[in-house]
Amino acid sequence: MLKDVTFGQYYPGNSLLHRTDPRIKMLILIEYLVLVLVANSEIAALLSLAFTVFLIAVSGVRFGILIKSVKPLIFVLAFTAIINLFFTVGEGEPLLNWGFITIYANGVRNAIMMLLRLLSLVLGTSVLISFTTSPLELTDAIEALLSPLKKIKVPVHEFAMMMSIALRFIPTLIEETNKIISAQKARCADFESGNLLKRIKALIPILIPLFVSAVRRAEELADAMECRCYNGGEGRTKLKVMKSRPADYAFLLAVTVLTVAVFFLNNISVSEIINLCKAIF
Amino acid sequence: MSFIEARGVEFSYSPDEEKVIKNIDLKIEKGSYVAILGHNGCGKSTLAKLLCGILTPTEGQILIDGADTADEEKSFEIRKKCGMVFQNPDNQLVASVVEEDVAFAPENLGLPRDEIRKRVDMALATVDMTEYKEHATYKLSGGQKQRIAIAGMLAMSPECIIFDEATAMLDPTGRKEIVAAMKRLNSEIGITVVTITHYMNEAVEADRIIVMNKGEIIADGTPKEIFSEVEKLQSVSLAVPQVAELMYLLEQDGHPLPRGVLHAMEAADLLEAYIKGAKND
Ligand SMILES: Nc1ncnc2c1ncn2[C@@H]1O[C@H](COP(=O)(O)OP(=O)(O)OP(=O)(O)O)[C@@H](O)[C@H]1O
Ligand SMILES: [Mg+2]
């Protein structure tokens, strides 16, 4: 059932994105999301597309891996494109009028924009965070970025600790689930036949032991952590300290400029830019 | 003053349950190597948790280097001095990467980075796992995980380590290595070692053996003394090492041989002398 679950998606490497400070990467991610979602005019969309391509190129992640990460989304992508293509009601003459199907020029434009936007979101986030940031870097970065909230008593350290422990226990619990499934199968449990309701019911003998064991593990882990002097985040030091170099700030600044540029370009059409160029020269 | 001192300790997990630990008076000296024996459910793990302050006695008191484990204010000091390695390594590893996990305790102590680095490297070298420094913890075998758990404890550099069946998951070679490591810690670094085990050959290595039954200490002495009382051990469903059993059986058959022989070579010499003596008569 759970044969091929790889843990995390991190691909160790030494590309520019791997070396960028994870905190800066998180900030860049936020800007990137704004940038992709806001880009609406052709020129802005083109810019955002170019930036996505740049990120992918600079991440050093193999093309095959990218394709693999998009594969499960093909249906969603196709569906959005088709909806946009057929159901956008544009002005002027339709490009095609064939029975109940009418396609307007605007529909084609919307479909392409939407497709590119979704693809950019998926690929950009993957190369910025999932593929190039180790889980520990990620939780550390989140803790660091949210640390101002500690002042208003938000348990930021505890939250980050919980996240990293959850990540650590995913493979353990997967292994355990497989063991329980085998054990139940050995007792003639049947998980593969019957209707949906029956199959869901068959999962109960897996979930209950899994839950019980997870609680027991949590108790033991709490004892072990206490034994190792864990006392909350206060006064804790770190083996690995995040360092941001000038290059990281430069990267952040460049993306900020790009985001602002997209906001401006959104309000200008291509013809206006051509006119502007003509006026200058 | 003894390093660990228990005075009239009783313990039950909840007020209406039967006492799991009854009337225990115990002194463990600094730098000693103590093994605790007893059959399943006799309260060894509970006693271990009491001795390192994870649990506090319902009756009586436990002093660790003079500090009462019931005293909340001293709990951090106590934790630092007395560590524990649990039976199941899966439930005591905190981080996804080996060196991050080993660094957990020194990080909690708030040590400077260089010192953490030094301790992590030292601890990994002691358990012979240096080459796995950057591996994912979930990919290690059970025995390797247990070694990392021990390294994690060593990095805290406690004065006393309690091993609760820490070798139960290891193969014979792995077990021998861990026992050798325990001995080395004890004799070279002077760490007080308390080990709970079901393997008599491991108990033989200790300076002192404590035998428990139904929450009470029923025997306390050197391995030689303890393993001389074969009947007593058998009455609480414990075995004696094979060599001691052989000598015991021969004695039962009417051969005047000494009891409490623990090592094969010693037994061989004694038997040789005995047989030669019998021939000469
Ligand atoms: N968390 C708990 N809550 C309630 N009862 C417990 C708890 N842990 C242990 N017990 C009970 O306390 C008794 C002693 O358990 P303990 O784990 O100390 O035995 P043990 O000597 O370590 O056994 P083993 O050799 O199997 O490890 C058992 O009867 C057990 O049922
Ligand atoms: Mg136990």
Q: Check whether A61 has a pLDDT greater than 50.
A: yes
Q: Residue with the nearest Cα to atom 7 of ligand 1? A: B13
Q: Does B216 touch chain A (CB under 8 A)?
A: no
**Mean pLDDT within B258-276:** 85
Q: At what angle do helices A196-227 and A156-186 cross, to 10 degrees?
A: 130
Q: Check whether A192 has a pLDDT greater than 80.
A: no
Domain boundaries, given as residue ranges, for chain A: 9-133+245-281, 154-238
Query: Which secondary structure element, helix H or strand E, spans residue B212, and what is its range?
Result: strand B208-213
Please report the DSSP string for A155-173 in residue order. Answer: -HHHHHHHHHHHHHHHHHH
**Predicted local confidence at residue A223, as pLDDT:** 92
Using the beta-carbon criterion (under 8 Å), do B120 and A239 form an inter-chain contact?
A: yes
The C-alpha atoms of residue B65 and residue A104 are separated, in whole angstroms, by 84
Compare all CA atoms of chain B with the CA of A217 and give the residue at the minimum distance: B91
Kind of pairing between the strands at B208-213 and B216-221 = antiparallel
**Predicted local confidence at residue A43, as pLDDT:** 85
Closest partner residue to B138 among A171, A225, A237, by Cβ? A171
Angle at B22 between CA B16 and CA B28, to 5 degrees: 140
Residues A25, A17 contacting (CB under 8 angstroms): yes
Best mutation target among B94, B116, B140 (most A Cβ atoms within 10 Å) is B94
Confidence of residue A233 (pLDDT cuts 50, 70, 90): confident
Alpha helices in chain A (DSSP H): 16-19, 22-38, 42-59, 63-70, 74-87, 105-125, 135-146, 156-186, 196-227, 246-265, 270-280
Q: What is the pLDDT of residues B93-113, one digit of tens each?
A: 998 889 889 999 999 999 999
Among A155, A7, A171, A12, which Cα is nearest to B93's? A171
Q: What is the pLDDT of residues B168-222, one digit of tens each?
A: 877 888 788 888 888 988 998 899 999 999 988 889 889 999 999 999 999 999 9
Confidence of residue B257 (pLDDT cuts 50, 70, 90): confident
Q: Does B129 touch chain A (CB under 8 A)?
A: no
Residues within a 6 A CB radius of ligand 1: B 13, 20, 38, 40-46
Contacts of A87 (CB under 8 A, 6+ apart): A107
pTM of the model: 0.80
**Predicted local confidence at residue B58, as pLDDT:** 93
Using the beta-carbon criterion (under 8 Å), do A223 and B86 form an inter-chain contact?
A: yes
**Predicted local confidence at residue A1, as pLDDT:** 34
The C-alpha atoms of residue B47 and residue B60 are separated, in whole angstroms, by 13
Q: Check whether B242 has a pLDDT greater than 50.
A: yes
**Predicted local confidence at residue B9, as pLDDT:** 94
Compare all CA atoms of chain A with the CA of B162 and give the residue at the minimum distance: A227
Q: Which SS3 state, helix, strand or coil, does residue B62 take?
A: strand
Confidence of residue A9 (pLDDT cuts 50, 70, 90): low
Where do the domains of chain B lie, and which CATH numbers do they carry?
A: 4-240 (3.40.50.300), 241-281 (no CATH)
Among B148, B127, B123, B122, which Cα is nearest to B137's? B148
The C-alpha atoms of residue A212 and residue A176 are separated, in whole angstroms, by 12
Distance of CA B44 from the midpoint of ligand 1 (Å): 8
| Burial track A38-56 (b if 16+ CB lie within 10 A, e otherwise) | ebebebbbebbbebbeebb
**Predicted local confidence at residue A25, as pLDDT:** 92
Q: What is the pLDDT of residues B5-26, one digit of tens each?
A: 999 999 999 988 889 999 999 9
**Predicted local confidence at residue A3, as pLDDT:** 36
Q: Which residues of A touch B120 (CB under 8 A)?
A: 239
- The least confident of A228-242, B62-76, B152-166 is A228-242
- How much of chain B exceeds pLDDT 90, in percent? 49
Confidence of residue A267 (pLDDT cuts 50, 70, 90): confident
Q: Does B245 touch chain A (CB under 8 A)?
A: no
Q: How many CA atoms lie within 13 A of A105 on its CB side?
A: 3
Best mutation target among B49, B73, B76, B91 (most A Cβ atoms within 10 Å) is B91
**Predicted local confidence at residue A2, as pLDDT:** 38
Residues B164, B48 contacting (CB under 8 angstroms): yes
The C-alpha atoms of residue B248 and residue B240 are separated, in whole angstroms, by 10
| The residue to which tokens 């008076």 are assigned | B25
**Predicted local confidence at residue B78, as pLDDT:** 92
Q: Check whether A4 has a pLDDT greater than 50.
A: no
Choose between A70 and A5: higher pLDDT: A70
Please report the DSSP string for B4-21 in residue order. Answer: EEEEEEEE-SSTTSPPSE
- Please state the φ and ψ torsions of residue B3, each to the nearest 5 degrees: -70, -50
- The least confident of A76-80, A118-122, A269-273, B62-66 is A269-273
**Predicted local confidence at residue B279, as pLDDT:** 78
Q: Which residues of B touch A224 (CB under 8 A)?
A: 84, 86, 91-92, 94, 149
Confidence of residue A8 (pLDDT cuts 50, 70, 90): low
Closest partner residue to A228 among B111, B116, B152, by Cβ? B152
Q: What is the mean pLDDT of chain A?
A: 85
Residues A133, A61 contacting (CB under 8 angstroms): no
Residues B136, B96 contacting (CB under 8 angstroms): yes
Angle at B80 between CA B75 and CA B83, to 5 degrees: 100
Confidence of residue A5 (pLDDT cuts 50, 70, 90): very low
Which residues are bridge partners to B85 per DSSP? B163
Distance of CA B228 from the midpoint of ligand 1 (Å): 28
Which residues are bridge partners to A103 per DSSP? A96
Q: Check whether A99 has a pLDDT greater than 80.
A: no
DSSP letter assigned to residue B46: H
- Please state the φ and ψ torsions of residue B18, each to the nearest 5 degrees: -65, 155
What are A232's two structure tokens?
């909350």
Q: Which SS3 state, helix, strand or coil, does residue A14 take?
A: coil
